[in-house]
Amino acid sequence: MKFSRHFLELNLGVLAISTSGIFGRMITLSPEITIFWRCLFASLILGAYIKLSKFSTKIIGNHDSKIILVGGLLMGIHWVTYFYALTLSNIAIAILTLHTFPAITSILEPLILKSKFQLHHLILAILVILGVWIILPSADMSDNVVLAIVFGLVSALAYALRNILTKKVVPNYNGSVLMFFQLVIMTFMLIPFIFIYNSSPINGDWPYLLMLILITTVIGHTLLVKHLKNYSAVTVGLLSSIIPVYSILWGLVFLKEIPNTQTIIGGSLILVSFVVESIYSNKSNA
């Protein structure tokens, strides 16, 4: 199968985003402070790149401004709640609960964007849900795993809504510019937490924070936003279903978090949905 450049770039973005779990587990700062520094430095790097590339940063009208603002707030909620899930559990639980978002997207996108409903998207979304259900353990209500699942689901909802709303404005802007706007919004959104937590120096977290900023944020999310132009939010969401598999492998290599049989079975179902959607999307957008 001959892959298009757009398709390959989108999958490179997906691979880069999959590193968030391993870096999130290695960073010892609170989620709000971690995301604040992530947004601040990533926005500075992207801002410099945008200036050098001479991309336009002009926002077209109040309608776009509101969507970009809400998208940035939703992205902030997505990142913070996901990092809380990481602190409360392991990478597998956090990342796989988060990746119910393709199923949420497949239901919400046709309603919000008035787009055509596609049956295969719903079928693949159900397959993803089944995979996640198999992987998730039966947890005691007093266990931190339950909280991790709740934070993961909130993160999934916020991310699905952000992708759907961003789809409305993405044709009008460069992907790096859109990501820059949302990073700036998130930075201001999280400034109060610097004072709430009386944040301590970053110290030993610098290497992991820097990699989180450059690899996961600047490269991964910019490529993902860029290709919302070429693919539906549902397609991007379902292609991103491979992220849990990548993330669990990162955890296995760097943290020795060995997946159990449930994780392997559920992850295999998620992998099947990824391959099928890859074939569909590549045929449609080559």
DSSP 264-277: HHHHHHHHHHHHHH
Closest CA to 216 of 237, 239, 189, 246: 246
Query: Which pLDDT value is given to residue 145?
Result: 78
Q: What is the pLDDT of residue 196?
A: 87
Tens digit of pLDDT at every position of the chain (286 positions): 445 777 888 888 889 999 999 999 999 899 999 999 999 998 999 899 999 999 999 998 899 999 999 999 999 999 999 999 999 888 988 888 887 887 788 788 888 877 777 777 778 788 888 887 887 766 555 578 778 888 998 999 999 999 899 888 888 888 889 989 999 999 999 999 988 887 666 778 889 999 999 999 888 877 877 776 777 766 776 677 788 888 988 988 888 888 778 878 887 887 787 777 666 765 665 5
Contact 11, 239 (CB under 8 A): yes
* 15, two tokens: 């691979």
**Would you state the pLDDT for residue 215?**
92
Structure tokens at 136: 């998730």
Neighbours of 264 (CB within 10 A): 13
Residue with tokens 């936003």: 225
Task: Give 163-190 as a DSSP string.
Answer: HHHHHHHGGGS-HHHHHHHHHHHHHHHH
Distance CA 141, CA 280 (A): 40
* pLDDT at residue 201, rounded to an integer: 62
What's the burial of 63, exposed, middle or buried (CB within 10 Å: 0-12/13-18/19+)? exposed
Please check whether residue 174 is in contact with residue 100, taking contact to mean a CB–CB distance below 8 angstroms. Answer: no
Question: Strand, helix or coil at 91?
Answer: helix
CA distance 283 to 285: 6
Distance CA 91, CA 267 (A): 13
C-alpha span between 188 and 83 (Å, rounded): 18
